Structure 1
């Protein structure tokens, strides 16, 4: 009997199954955009027919890090900025799991920025949701990597002298094969984008705009928003890297000028995921590594033996 025999049941799933009995009510501040992420993730998981046993949710530190306390699934609350390496390892060991990583803008684009870049470069098969509220919320209002230039905070009382990071452009140039932006104020689009990201074979990055009414009162609530796929004013090919890059630059300029543009910006369905690449060269076994822990007849081997044999 395997611990992973629930994977692939194919049954109908109610989104209430993802509400934990231990801590069903989130403790985020009233009006926080993080509620929108949780609702969209529950809805997307249920619509895809994923069960709590089929999903692993890894999180970092910050308000976003509470997500897996309020979402019933396998979960791993990691260190600051470290949700991605844990997610990568889990997906490599057990490819049957639906792996979702989450972090905040400070957690994901600042402290964990290097992991973000290299996970995108390697195109690991997972979904990465970054709660972007342009502030460090849990530590009570410090300037973050996405705070606009001139933003005043406890750490920058005279206003930030730094330009904000460009998350979409960074994801594209690093190698992500699916890049999108949505907002908590657009729940239908948010659910649709998470569904697409979870179905995508490769690294799917979602920059999720989440308002923070407590610690970022100067920030817009990301309304009104424009869905670029529904607007006649924006015409570009999401499968064309150059057109996507130009559109992302326009989107990132527009955000701090008062225009919120959301939607899908780049999709590459042809690029193999890291897991597919490793399997093709024989470095990932056909049998998931995680299954070996439940196989009493499996004879464990030491990786050092492969090197020692070469020197005999």
Structure 2
């Protein structure tokens, strides 16, 4: 028996395969951008030839954390801001698994900001979809790391005194090798970007603008939007870090001025992923750790055993 009996089994898949057999009633508010993420994710899977048994979806806390309740695959609902380290562990144990981590702006840029930064720095081979609605939605409208300066909320009734975080710039400087922004109001682009991110070998970060009609009416619907790859006004090389950084800064500045820019911002294909680096150093086993659970003759060892050998 193999840990990967369902992985690599090439066959055509349909989007409906990623809808649970007994589909739960979504509890997102009408008009919520999270529906757009779910739709784009389901549409992207047949594009890259994945079936539900090949995918593991890890979510955090908040409205975004409900995603794997409505998406048929392996899933793990973690605690606030911790979906990335759990996803990293799964990928290292089972490298052929397609790993997707999904969480809100509070999950990834706030309480889990350290995990986000170091997962990007180490270039773990996974997709990170960040639901960016510029607010804490599930807890009823508190200021988040991406709320614009001056935004009034329950926690900042006089207006936020802090400038928002710049998620694209943070991702690039931390070391992500695929950085993009899309929006729930642009489903075709969202599907294409998610598919590209899945096929990318390394850490792929998607800042996904998701409107919150209930608790963040200031952000409206993130329209009209401009695709930077389709516009004649913007011309930059996505493989050039300096040009990408300049375009990201402009994109992040214009969002709070009322102009929504989306698209691919940085792609680096040559840098090895974390798992590949560890294997090259001889610090990762040639056979996936997940295979050992199916080997009755395998003698489990502890990491401390090797250290104890040096002290005998």
Give the TM bin, normalised by the shorter chain.
Answer: over 0.9
CA displacement 1:132-154 (0-9 Å, x = unmatched): 00000000100000000000011
Find out whether 1:213 has 2:213 as its counterpart.
Answer: yes
Aligned partners of 2:139, 2:237: CA distance in 1, in Å?
40
Q: Secondary structure at the match of 1:261?
A: strand
2:147 paired with 1:147: yes
Match of 1:279 in 2: 279
1:19-72 alpha-carbon deviations (Å, 9 max, x no partner): 112334322100000000001111111221111110010000000000011101
The alpha carbon displacement at 1:3 in A equals: 3.9
2:18 — aligned with what? 18
Cα distance per residue 1:189-211 (max 9 Å; x no partner): 00000000000000000000000
Deviation at residue 286 of structure 1 after TM alignment: 1.3
Give the SS at the match of 1:232: coil
Distance 1:166 1:131 in 2: 14
SS at match of 2:81: coil
Match of 2:67 in 1: 67
Displaced runs of 4+ in structure 1, greater than 3 A?
A: 22-25
Match in the other structure for 2:52: 52
Could you report, residue by residue, the CA deviation over 1:225-254 in whole angstroms, capped at 9, with x for unpaired residues? 000000000000000000000000000000
Aligned residue number for residue 33 of structure 1: 33
2:35 and 2:65 map into 1 onto residues whose CA distance is 13
- 1:229 matched residue in structure 2: 229
Residue of structure 1 equivalent to 2:126: 126
- SS of 1:293's equivalent? helix
Deviation at 1:107, TM superposition (A): 1.2
Q: How far is the alpha carbon of 1:303 from its aligned partner?
A: 1.7
Structure 2 residue aligned with 1:239: 239
Give how far 1:86 is off: 0.2
Q: How does 1:79-118 map to 2 (within 5 A)?
A: 79-118=79-118
Which secondary structure state, in structure 2, belongs to the residue aligned with residue 176 of structure 1?
coil
> Cα RMSD between the aligned structures?
0.8
Aligned to 1:309: 309
Residues matched between the structures, number: 312
* Alignment match, 1:136: 136
Q: Deviations over 1:249-294 (max 9, x none)?
A: 0000000001000000000001111011001111111111011001
Q: What's the TM-score, normalizing by structure 2?
A: 0.99
Corresponding residue SS for 1:36: helix
| Cα distance in 1 for residues equivalent to 2:306 and 2:294 | 24
Query: Which shows bigger deviation, 302-311 or 83-92?
Result: 302-311
State the Cα distance separating 1:219 from its structure 2 match. 1.5
Between 21-30 and 132-141, the greater mean CA deviation after superposition: 21-30
Q: Distance in 2 between matches of 1:286 and 1:225?
A: 46
Whole-angstrom distance in 2 between the partners of 1:237 and 1:46: 29
